[in-house]
Amino acid sequence: MKFCVNLRMEKLKIGFDAKRAVRNFTGLGNYSRLVIDVLSREYPANDYRLYTPSVRQNDRLKTLIGRKNVTLVTPDTTTGRALPALWRVYGGLTSQIARDGIGLFHGLSNELPLDIARAGIPTVVTVHDLIFRRLPECYKPVDRAIYDYKFRHACENATRVIAISERTRDDIVELYGIKPGKIDIVYQGCDPQFAVPVDDATRDRVRAKYNLPEHYIIAVGTVEHRKNQLQAVRALRHLPADVSLIIVGGHNKDYVRDVAREVAALGLADRVRLLKGVPFADLPALYAMATVASYTSRYEGFGIPVIEAISAGVPVIAATGSCLEEAGGPGAVYISPDSVDAYVDAARAMLDNPAMRHDLVTRGREYIARFSPENFSHGLMESYTKALG
């Protein structure tokens, strides 16, 4: 789908809440960097200011801030530098973007400065998900309260709200009472590196680095209750003995202990590997050498790992119940996150049938073409145009 955008609008000075772009290396950080990347390339005449309370070494940000139209901005007052967290939330950042003459401000990670309305600047906020409302047991009460206040406030006070999926839009409407007409659905894509064929030398290097088996199912995502990796572990004992499970992602300590206990109880210690701290550059090869990808999360705002896997040429077993069908389309087999039997059936079908895997990937790649950088950037700019009136 192409977006109709007025490409001849006057040069914009756009500000971003770039804390996540600077400090996060997954999820919200990836999204933030992708927004800045596609806009600064597709609309190079604009001036993009990345506001962050502090600077952190981030090699994946270097390319972006090396561009002439992208500037990294930190607090410009003594108080802001002394109290960077407060600067971002109330008072300091709002005053600074007003002084800088910002024409539009985009909160990239669910929130805006609480006093942004007083600046009279058009604002856009991207809301990724309201999972803490749908699965409250996965969050601490104090975190739920903070998220709920910030997210609701941002949705109510923003000029426009960007939802990353239909599921997220529907949650915003139902849970916060925001009118659908204020919300723009702008699908993101994944990093283009996942679609680039992985050469033999890189495959050999990554296989040796992680001592990868010949046949494996890959599950990328934080190892936590919501991501539901235990379903794949329990299914593995019913799959051929030469198939392993490689779980890639940060760790929730309690859930990792649950996974480790289940692995031991099922006698799968030699078939299940948990990889933490994997460099982003190694992920395409890890996907590409897998036979099947697994992402049976109980609830997501969108599900970028599904798109990454399909881009890398790997079919996916994904869960029903949230929005993963929006992400993978015909490139995945969808099952209940509570059914080990359904997982076993799906995995066996894929493992035993190369033609099925090829068909899923072919149709999936055709489907995810809609999540191109061009469509992403045009969708963002269309939302900005609406916010500017």
Q: What percent of the chain has pLDDT over 90?
A: 89
Considering the segment(s) 13-189+372-387 as one domain, its CATH architecture is: 3-Layer(aba) Sandwich (3.40)
pLDDT for 4 beyond 70: no
Phi, psi of 213 (to 5 degrees): -75, 170
Instruction: Grade residue 189 by pLDDT with cuts at 50, 70 and 90.
Output: confident
Q: Distance (Å, rounded) from C-alpha 273 to C-alpha 209?
A: 13
Q: Distance (Å, rounded) from C-alpha 141 to C-alpha 128?
A: 20
Residue-level pLDDT at 10: 65
Residue 174: CB atoms within 10 A of its CB come to 11
Residue-level pLDDT at 1: 39
For the chain, the average pLDDT equals 94
pLDDT tens across 270-300, in order?
Answer: 999 999 999 999 999 999 999 999 999 999 9
**Do 192-370 and 13-189+372-387 fall under one CATH topology?**
yes
Topology of domain 192-370, CATH: Rossmann fold (3.40.50)
Termini Cα distance of the chain: 23
What's the pTM?
A: 0.90
Residue 34: CB atoms within 10 A of its CB come to 22
Hey, is 335 helix, strand or coil?
strand
Residue-level pLDDT at 207: 97
Under a CB-based contact definition with an 8 Å cutoff, are residues 290 and 216 in contact? yes
Q: Distance (Å, rounded) from C-alpha 157 to C-alpha 95?
A: 17
Q: Distance (Å, rounded) from C-alpha 339 to C-alpha 234?
A: 10
Residue 14: alpha-carbon gap to chain centroid: 22
Domain boundaries, the chain: 13-189+372-387, 192-370
Stretch 73-101: mean pLDDT: 94
Q: What percent of the chain has pLDDT over 70?
A: 97
pLDDT for 7 beyond 80: no
- Going from the C-alpha of 185 to that of each of 41, 210, 334, 348, the distances in angstroms are 21, 38, 23, 36
